[in-house]
A and B are shown apart, each in its own frame.
Chain A
Amino acid sequence: MSYLSGVGMTGGYGGADILHDCSISVDKGQIAVIVGPNGAGKSTAMKALFGMLDLRKGVVTLDGQDITNMSPQERVAAGMSFVPQVNNVFPTMTVQENLEMGGVLRDDDLTATIDEIYDLFPILKEKRNQAAGELSGGQRQQVAVGRALMTNPKLLMLDEPTAGVSPVVMDELFDLIIEIANTGVSIVMVEQNARQALEIADQGYVLVQGRNRFTDTGQVLLDNPDVRKSFLGG
């Protein structure tokens, strides 16, 4: 049984359905990557897993427990954490305050967790008293991921973490994501850079028009001629 799984998810933002019988799951400490063309419903699938979308059909379970009807806030308390694609930091607040805000649900002392995050992202320690809105794109993504890690989540969801950052920073971010997964945190992410993302994926999902088109391990998908031709540019 997977740690998080959404089975047969069908729904949209009112109006027409965007997801059609879509299933996504991830095991403990593994990385699941959702790829697909624009408008395939990748981000929508993430939102559905996080409870930001009303599902007409389908079930979402976390660690065997049915969480389909939980609000996003309740899911945060249950150990899930979400990094949105845009507007994912508090721009006028300092890096340190951004991290503190990630941990508001916790009553215990946050310093240990903050130090862990500074170990993971050393650049943030240097810029701890700078406003997050003044940082570069890559640093801002690190703040966003750091904030999401403050709850000590067991599952981290990333919506296009490498959107708008340079290739060098992109490689760094992918390395960090692997590092986070190695600490036992499950990761679900949506990626535009399909090839690189599938290389680090334990499980890959190719969505087309809200439906699962291909589902397999990252490596198998990369070797699949159909996937290569349609989604990876040959």
Chain B
Amino acid sequence: MLSIALALLTDRTVYRFYRIKRVDPVIMLIVSMGVMFTMAGLTRFFIGTEDRVFADGARFILKARDMKETLGLSEGVTVKTSQVITVVMTLASAIWLFWFLGKTKIGKMMRAFSDNKDLALLSGINPERIIRLTWIIAAILATIAGTLYGLDKSYKPFVYQQLLLPIFAAAIVGGLGNPLGAVVGGFVVAFSEVILTYAYTKFLHYTLPASWVPDGLVQFLPTDYKFAISFMILVLILIFRPTGILRGKLQ
């Protein structure tokens, strides 16, 4: 609720001014960076900078040792409660969003507005109403995402600084302005990061004869380079397929 109010307030006070002036998207981007810094400052002021862990309720649904016994495996498999909640909530939100954009009148109006603003106006679509609703949905989704992240890891007020780049990369990789693209892009970025920074020692331990197993961690890249991967994907995509994997709106 609070984030909806905050998003609407920001739109009213900041973005609307620039929208009425119909500024370039680049200026809009710089404006949003300004908004980001302001928000960061407010967060520091009101919430503080220290980590917080939401640890209530059972942490694990399937515990490592129990699974070892029931499945008879030599390694543990764990499923955390928060992981299940994350997957279920994400699926539900994604399905709801696609249903909303594809089937409801207001969702279609939203897509029409993003497709061709002038024609949407000529058809009698009320722009302020659409924009308000878009902010509300964005705020709800952002809140859900933030809560889920906080549940699974811990709540760090400034974690967005690390998440921004992969998210940005995901949106561009999939194609800007395309919700399905964002999903695809998210998976591409996430799996590239994991595949390239995973320590394969244990995996090789099981797949290769014992004498071949190397001593090191067998990583392609140390985990510190995780963020470099987002950057590399971003650069590659912008060079070879600037509209994203699924055609987006970037010209």
Q: Which residues in A have some Cβ–Cβ distance to B below 8 Å? A: 72-73, 76-77, 82, 84, 87-93, 97, 100-102, 104-105, 147, 151
Determine the distance from Cα of A209 to Cα of B187 in the docked complex, in whole angstroms: 58
What sequence of 0s and 1s flags, for each residue 161-176 of chain B, a beta carbon within 8 Å of any chain A beta carbon?
0000000000000000
**Most chain-A Cβ atoms within 10 A of its Cβ — which of B115, B120, B125?**
B115
- Kindly list 16 other residue pairs between chains A and B, CB separation below 8 angstroms, not including A76-B122, A84-B119, A97-B108: A72-B121, A72-B122, A73-B124, A76-B123, A77-B124, A87-B118, A88-B119, A89-B116, A90-B111, A91-B116, A93-B111, A100-B108, A101-B125, A104-B109, A104-B125, A105-B124
Count, A-B residue pairs, CB within 8 A: 55
Determine the distance from Cα of A130 to Cα of B25 in the docked complex, in whole angstroms: 29
* In the complex, residue of chain B having the shortest beta-carbon distance to the beta carbon of A72: B122
Q: Which residues in B have some Cβ–Cβ distance to A below 8 Å? A: 105, 108-109, 111-112, 115-116, 118-126
Cβ–Cβ contact A93 & B108, under 8 A: yes
Determine the distance from Cα of A102 to Cα of B124 in the docked complex, in whole angstroms: 8
Chain B residues with CB under 8 A of A76: 122-124
Chain B residues with CB under 8 A of A90: 111-112, 115-116, 119-120
Determine the distance from Cα of A101 to Cα of B124 in the docked complex, in whole angstroms: 9
Cβ–Cβ contact B115 & A73, under 8 A: no
* In the complex, residue of chain A having the shortest beta-carbon distance to the beta carbon of B108: A97
- The 3 lowest CB-CB distance pairs between A and B, nearest first, are A105-B124, A90-B115, A101-B112
Cβ–Cβ contact A104 & B116, under 8 A: no
Chain B residues with CB under 8 A of A72: 121-122
* In the complex, residue of chain A having the shortest beta-carbon distance to the beta carbon of B125: A104
Chain B residues with CB under 8 A of A87: 116, 118-119
